[in-house]
Amino acid sequence: MVIGDGVLTPAISVFSAVSGLELSMSKEHHQYAVIPITCFILVCLFALQHYGTHRVGFLFAPVVLTWLLCISALGLYNMIHWNPHVYKALSPYYMFKFLKKTKKGGWMSLGGILLCITGSEAMFADLGHFSYAAIQTAFTFLVYPALILAYMGQAAYLSQHHHTSYHISFYVSVPESVRWPVLVIAILASVVGSQAIISGTFSIINQSQSLGCFPRVKVIHTSDKIHGQIYIPEINWVLMILCITVTIGFRDTKHMGNASGLAVMTVMLVTTCLMSLVIILCWNKPPAVALSFLLFFGSIELLYFSASLTKFTEGAWLPILLALFLMTIMFVWHYATIKKYEFDLHNKVSLEWLLALGPSLGVARVPGIGLVFTDLTSGIPANFSRFVTNLPAYHRILVFVCVKSVPVPFVPPAERYLVGRVGPAAHRSYRCIVRYGYRDVHQDIDSFETELVARLADFIRYDWHRSQHTSPYAEDDASHSNESSSERRLAVIGTVTFSGTPGYGIEESVEPASVSIGFSTVESVTDVIEMQAVGAGAVERRVRFAIDDDDSESDGQTKMYVQLEEELRDLMTAQEAGTAFILGHTHVETKQGSSILKRLAINFGYNFLRRNCRGPDVALKVPPISLLEVGMVYVV
């Protein structure tokens, strides 16, 4: 419904602002001028999106401030000039009196009254630009008083002119001498208001695709400083086409208003229901508090929602149609994604199979780092076994990379990487789970590769140091071979410094605030630990594949030190040789005997979306020269 609102709000905002021309030209001219002007403004609005709001954002505040002061002044003028006693209408007594007198007619009119509060549902998009306190202060002390004055002014005018033949609109109450300046300011304000809901649409689609609920689309961050400012080209042009279609199709604010009202009310009603769950699950409040919240706000919103549904045949059908279409796309994509994961889980290869590969089977190890991307957090993915079967060679350093989106807004950089071994140290195979929140900005491939190698080096130092304290040197090989039959435990590698004696402590229990606990990214890992800097604070640094000379003189004779130095040297050599990215190129089809609905959803719906959205290699920005794709057929 928010995405549908992103279609309706720009259309009705610009159209209603431009409709002020009807009082300044004849009906014949007005009929053929409003639609083209509205469409032209909408095209310009969406064409400028790729520049980002930070380039023109400095104009937003003056425009909105001028608009709020303008409607406040007009409201005060109309109150003083036509009916100074209209302020009494602020009393709730008149609301009950109105509903009691009009009964069903008054209830049905609530669907139109909704337009007074449209726009407030997009306030979440402002959090990408401003703080909570800034939004609360501006709304309480500026926006709300300005709106109240404007509506009271219009009420004062209508109290003296409700018998006239004039069409009831905002511009009727504007004095003729200032009508043109007000028209220009209104159009500019409508553009700014439309920008807010467009940004909100981009934001919610970006978060949906991070959670695997929307096909992959290109997300461009238009600001280097503010991560909330994003632009999605495909969605931008689809919104523009739909906005122009709605404008040309409806041609009047009544139908657009009915459609927008239902969309806004549905958003608010769903938000209230979800908020009651937040009160219980996140805030740990008693269920009675959540129930009271739901009953109080839900009953009010249900009243407005039911009134909006009565306008179904008069335009309110559009947001329902858009919502059903979008929900179908999201459901099909999410369902197929889950089925693919289940297929991977069922067809993963055992660790023993990987360890058995060697020269005796004609499988060679080649220089470089091989990053095998998979959704699995344990085991060997089927696409890697297929790769080795068809091309009997793999890289000297092998890393199984799993990029996971966890249901939190941000993951601290110190908790982003979980690193562990796959098999014994001599095999040079590792597993790395990289966790992002749904509002995190994903790294570009160069910085990701550098950071990943840095974390591997940190883990290698940590793992050998841990082995030194848990087993005698002589028993090192035995201890590692015993652990080779199962997945080694993963360590959360943060920004810690390793020089000389490693400065870290081991925490056997992770704090509840950590994202390492409570999410499915580590559901198959038997033991997860964290490393924290002790003494000096954590520092950012480049990885240096070197050991202090003093340490080498004192410990260079030990077997463990030699193995540690050798493993770090192998990692450095592999990085210099180059990195290959191994990804699965998938085709999904249904099993024999599947239902018609499932065949339609998977064979046609999902595969159509997969072919026409961005592939994982494009999303990860993998250079084509470093890409190896493995064809896989998923039968679900």
Q: What is the pLDDT of residues 203-222, one digit of tens each?
A: 889 888 888 889 988 888 77
Tokens found for residue 616 = 């994982």
Cβ-contact 590, 335 below 8 angstroms? no
Q: What confidence score (pLDDT) does residue 28 get?
A: 67
Q: Are 54 and 229 in contact (CB under 8 A)?
A: yes
* pLDDT tens figures, 582-599: 888 888 889 888 899 999
Does residue 549 lie in a domain region? no
DSSP 584: E
Beta carbons within 10 angstroms of residue 577's beta carbon: 15
Choose one of 209, 229, 252: the last residue of a domain.
252
Q: At 278, is the pLDDT very low, low, confident or very high (cuts 50, 70, 90)? A: very high
Alpha-carbon separation of residue 470 from 37, 482, 563 (angstroms): 76, 14, 16
- Mention every residue, 6+ apart, whose C-beta is less than 8 A from residue 629: 583, 584, 585, 617
Tell me, yes or no, whether 215 lies in a domain: yes
Q: Is residue 261 part of a domain?
A: no
Position 129 confidence tier, pLDDT thresholds 50, 70, 90: low
Instruction: Answer for the pair 435, 521: CB distance below 8 angstroms, yes or no.
Output: yes
Indicate if 234 and 352 belong to the same structural domain.
no
Binning pLDDT at 50, 70 and 90, where does residue 128 land? low
- DSSP for residue 558: S
H or E element in which residue 453 lies: helix 445-470
Helix pair angle (253-281, 2-18), 10° resolution: 140
Predicted pLDDT of residue 225 = 66
Exposure letters 318-327 (e unless 16+ CB within 10 A, then b): bbbebbeebe
- 541 pLDDT exceeds 60? no
Among 252, 278, 298, the domain-final residue is: 252
Cross-strand bridge partners of residue 633: 587
User: Residue 145 falls within a domain, yes or no?
Assistant: yes
402 backbone dihedrals φ, ψ, rounded to 5°? -120, 110
Q: How far is CA 85 from the centre of its chain?
A: 49
Based on the fold, state whether residues 35 and 156 are members of the same structural domain.
Answer: yes
Same domain, yes or no: 45 and 194: yes
Output b/e per residue, 463-493; b: 16+ Cβ within 10 A: bbbbbbeebeeeebeeebeebbeebbbbbbb
Q: Is the pTM of this model over 0.85?
A: no
Look at residue 270 and tell me if it is in a domain: no
Q: Tokens representing 89?
A: 């209408």
The pLDDT of residue 481: 42
Q: Which residue in 375, 476, 463, 484 sits closest to 420, CA to CA?
A: 463
Highest mean pLDDT of the ranges 119-128, 360-369, 526-535: 360-369
Q: Give yes or no: residues 350 and 245 share one domain.
A: no
For residue 54, being part of any structural domain is answered with yes
- pLDDT value at 517 more than 90: no
Q: Predicted confidence band at 296 (pLDDT cuts at 50, 70, 90)?
A: very high
In this prediction, residue 169 has a pLDDT band, given cuts at 50, 70 and 90, of confident
Q: Rounded CA gap, 616 and 160, in Å? A: 64
Higher pLDDT, 493 or 319: 319
Average pLDDT over the chain reads 81
Is the pLDDT at 476 greater than 90? The verdict is: no
Q: How far apart are CA 147 and CA 68, in angstroms?
A: 8
The CA distance from 184 to 38, in Å, is 13
Distance CA 578, CA 576 (A): 5
Which residues have CB under 8 Å from 514's CB, separation 6+?
415, 492, 530
Is 329 domain-assigned? Answer: no
Sign of CA dihedral 473, 474, 475, 478: positive
Alpha-carbon span 356 to 303, nearest angstrom? 68
Query: Which phi and psi (to 5°) does residue 429 adopt?
Result: -120, 140
Q: Contact 268/3 with Cβ under 8 angstroms?
A: no
Among 480, 256, 244, residue whose Cα is nearest residue 355: 480
Lowest model confidence (mean pLDDT) among 168-177, 235-244, 305-314, 538-547: 538-547
Token pair, residue 591, equals 């099993």
Number of structural domains in the chain: 2
- For the chain, first and last CA: distance in Å? 31
Report pLDDT for 39. 93
The answer to whether residues 160 and 234 touch, using CB atoms and an 8 Å cutoff, is: no
Least confident of 33-47, 107-121, 487-501, 566-580: 487-501
Contact 336, 600 (CB under 8 A): no
Do 157 and 23 lie in a common domain? Answer: yes
Q: Which residue has the higher pLDDT, 229 or 8?
A: 8
Residue where a domain terminates, one of 202, 224, 252 = 252
Distances (CA, A) of 314 to 123, 252, 411, 531, 622: 27, 11, 46, 61, 49
- Tell me, yes or no, whether 85 lies in a domain: yes
Domain that includes residue 630, residue range: 344-469+557-635
Q: Which residue type does 331 have? A: F
**How confident is residue 558, by pLDDT bands cut at 50, 70 and 90?**
low
pLDDT value of residue 228: 65
